[in-house]
Amino acid sequence: MTTDATHLSRSALLFLARKPGLEEVAMRLRPFRRLASRFIAGETLEEAVDAVRALSARGLMASFDHLNEAVQTPEETREEVRQYQRLLARIDAVGVRANVSLKLTQCGLLFDEALALENARAVVAEAAARDSFVRIDMEHSAVTQVTLDIVRQLRAEFGEPHVGAVLQSALRRTEQDARDLCAERIRVRLCKGAYLEKPDVAFPDKRDVDASFVRAMRVLLDSGVYHGIATHDERMIEATLDHAAKQGVPRGAFEFQMLYGIRRDLQERLVREGHPVRVYVPYGRHWYPYFMRRLAERPANLTFLLRNLVRG
């Protein structure tokens, strides 16, 4: 597929990811669900726990993510809080090496910023009481600043070991954000980003996204704070290992992070080499937007999906 065609496919998939009316249709299509199961660890908490047990047996850590970007009422946001409180309790009971990732849109960010902070605070408080950790996920650029503001407030309240942020190298602001967060000793997950953004806020060219990733990665590794380098790109992994070796950053001073269902071979190779690896484990009924973003990252998956839809 040409670069232009790939960009067009990715843009189309990201556009469709924002169409909630398509979710009900997609969930009724067996081939769609079958392909989604490659990236989603199930629709229930117990299915996700079983998936994390299997990861743990392979020497991998995990970060649970309950998928639900469609909350619209305060009560729905509070149910998300209860879901995360149950999840943190289940992690304790099972004893797996795992923490949780939380999107502020699940907490009501799009309609009530104060409520979002209140709900996120309740989740982080539960994590802190259990000596666990909450990663506040990053979403589209319209909420980048408010998300980082909330992370900063929670970090001030609960401390470094219990809450962290995510930065996307696709955004032009990320290198400076990395410097600022490191100065405040806020833990960061660095990823490339999977949202459709305008060129004035994000790099349209993959080469620039990669270069931004490397610059931000170097800032993170040089900071002395424990961060997560989230990528399946072997060039980015080698750049990370090379910089760590040159700067004397020891193994265990940071971790690699990858998505559930992607590059299992690479996950296991890094573990064998002694590097901590955490797998992002999404679960829940509302998997459609997340799944479409995964398709957009590798449009070749769309060919597989369409072939199976034709076969029925």
What positions carry a catalytic annotation? 137, 189
Phi/psi for 75 (5° steps) reads -65, -35
Degrees to nearest 5, angle at CA 137 with 134 and 140: 165
Please tell me whether 293 is known to bind a ligand. yes
Alpha-carbon torsion, ordered 14, 166, 286, 41, to 10 deg: 110
Please tell me whether 77 is known to bind a ligand. no
Please tell me whether 194 is known to bind a ligand. yes
With CA atoms as reference, report the closest residue to 160 among 190, 186, 123, 132: 186
- Measured CA to CA, the distance from residue 260 to residue 257 in angstroms comes to 10
Q: Cβ(127)–Cβ(133) under 8 Å?
A: yes
- Measured CA to CA, the distance from residue 130 to residue 146 in angstroms comes to 27
**18 contact partners, CB below 8 Å, separation of at least 6:** 196, 289
The DSSP H or E segment spanning 81 is: helix 74-94
Please tell me whether 294 is known to bind a ligand. yes
Please tell me whether 192 is known to bind a ligand. yes
Please tell me whether 155 is known to bind a ligand. no
Look up residue 191 and give its two tokens.
């990823």
Question: What string of DSSP letters covers 175-212?
Answer: HHHHHHHHHTT-EEEEE---S---TTTB-SSHHHHHHH
Please tell me whether 103 is known to bind a ligand. yes
Please tell me whether 128 is known to bind a ligand. no
**If 0-12 CB within 10 Å is exposed, 13-18 middle and 19+ buried, where does residue 28 land?**
exposed
Look up residue 109 and give its two tokens.
């960010």
With CA atoms as reference, report the closest residue to 87 among 143, 26, 44, 131: 44
Please tell me whether 246 is known to bind a ligand. no
Look up residue 85 and give its two tokens.
């409180």
| Sequence ranges of the binding site for substrate | 103, 293-294
| Sequence ranges of the binding site | 103, 138, 168, 192-194, 206, 231-232, 293-294
| Sequence ranges of the binding site for FAD | 138, 168, 192-194, 206, 231-232
